[in-house]
Amino acid sequence: MTPSTETLGAPARDERLRLLERLLADTRLDAEAAGRPRTPVPAELRRAPEDGPLTPLPPPAAPRAVLDDVLPGRTAVRDYGYAPMSGADLSAILTAADRMDAGGWPAERAAGVDLELYCAAWRVTGVDTGLYRYLPRQSALCRVASLPDGPEAEDLVMQREFAQAAALLVITGNLAAALARNGSHGHRLLLTRAGAAGHAAWLTALRLDLVGTVFAGLLPHVLRERAAADGYHRAALFAFAAGPPQRQ
């Protein structure tokens, strides 16, 4: 049982009161920040865009199933068939994730607090194995780094079965920008947005007769070494593994 302030000695009681006062002060500051007009993110906290070879994506594939039919059976699947995913299916998954964020948080995006969508592609028709950043305006993938395939790919993820997926969607955000704009609530808001985008991708995959699951993503050192993810200006938030189901 946690002792009450009455049962604590004077030094401990004073320390607890000081801690509570600091917490209340932080809460008031956040409330004040949320109530006043928020400004765009300072330029020094915005990332410079990277340049790399582009791979155009085909138009998003049309759904092959009704959401009401697939939603009751949604379950996390960690084993995948070896058949490739089509480029059109990947385009649909990435488009769904981006549209979810654009529709839900337009003010955050306009202020410069974007989500970045990365794709680790292993078996996607028309896309070479590698790590890519999704460019929604161009409907294209910008190559960021090479990735190993086969058994070596298992070193990129915590659970090796995720390396058997056809592709991984990895969602990152600019934590520095989010905190500058929203105070300590910025991290929570980024996580909420990433979760919404990841689940939009999952539901889209189900309607394309694909399987998958949300998970933590690539190991931190992989994103740090290959995508300059320092955990602050580019922080990994969420991920989704997808691929064709195993055929019996």
> Is 0.85 topped by the overall pTM?
no
Tokens representing residue 201 in the block: 């991708």
Distance CA 219, CA 242 (A): 17
CATH code where residue 115 lies: 3.40.109.10
On average, the pLDDT of the chain sits at 86
Ranges 68-72, 81-85, 123-127, 132-136: which has the least confidence: 68-72
Examine residue 42 and state whether it is found in any structural domain, yes or no.
Answer: no
Examine residue 217 and state whether it is found in any structural domain, yes or no.
Answer: yes
Judge if 210 and 127 occupy the same domain.
yes
Judge if 149 and 224 occupy the same domain.
yes
Q: In what order do the strands lie in the sheet with 235-243?
A: 54-56, 140-145, 130-135, 115-121, 167-173, 235-243, 211-215
Judge if 109 and 169 occupy the same domain.
yes
215 phi and psi angles, rounded to 5 deg:
-160, -175
Judge if 68 and 184 occupy the same domain.
yes
Examine residue 47 and state whether it is found in any structural domain, yes or no.
Answer: no
Examine residue 195 and state whether it is found in any structural domain, yes or no.
Answer: yes
Tell me the chain's radius of gyration from C-alpha atoms: 21
Judge if 222 and 99 occupy the same domain.
yes
Judge if 129 and 170 occupy the same domain.
yes
Q: Tell me the one-letter amino acid at 209.
A: D
pLDDT in tens, 73-88: 899 999 999 999 999 9
Query: What pLDDT sits at residue 191?
Result: 96
Judge if 105 and 22 occupy the same domain.
no
Distance CA 223, CA 15 (A): 41
Judge if 214 and 117 occupy the same domain.
yes
- Whether the predicted pLDDT of 102 surpasses 60: yes
Position 247 confidence tier, pLDDT thresholds 50, 70, 90: confident
Distance CA 147, CA 128 (A): 10
Partner residues linked to 218 by β-bridges = 157
- Whether the predicted pLDDT of 217 surpasses 60: yes
Examine residue 45 and state whether it is found in any structural domain, yes or no.
Answer: no
Judge if 97 and 138 occupy the same domain.
yes
Tokens representing residue 12 in the block: 């401990």
Average confidence (pLDDT) over 179-189: 91
Partner residues linked to 143 by β-bridges = 132
CB 219 within 8 A of CB 153: no
Judge if 126 and 14 occupy the same domain.
no
Judge if 64 and 167 occupy the same domain.
yes
Judge if 73 and 25 occupy the same domain.
no
Give the chain's domain count: 2
Sequence-separated (6 or more) residues with CB below 8 Å from residue 237: 115, 171, 172, 173, 190, 191, 194, 217
DSSP codes of every residue in the chain: -PPPTTTS-HHHHHHHHHHHHHHHHHHHHHHHHHHSPPPPPPGGGSPPPP---EEEPPPPPPPSS-HHHHGGG--------SSPBPHHHHHHHHHHHHHHHHHH-HHHHHTT--EEEEEEESSBTTB-SEEEEEETTTTEEEEEE----GGGGGGGBSSGGGGGSSEEEEEEE-HHHHHHHHTTHHHHHHHHHHHHHHHHHHHHHHHTT-EEEEE--B-HHHHHHHH---SSSSEEEEEEEEEPPPP-
Examine residue 130 and state whether it is found in any structural domain, yes or no.
Answer: yes
Examine residue 168 and state whether it is found in any structural domain, yes or no.
Answer: yes
Domain containing residue 183: 53-243
- Whether the predicted pLDDT of 35 surpasses 90: no
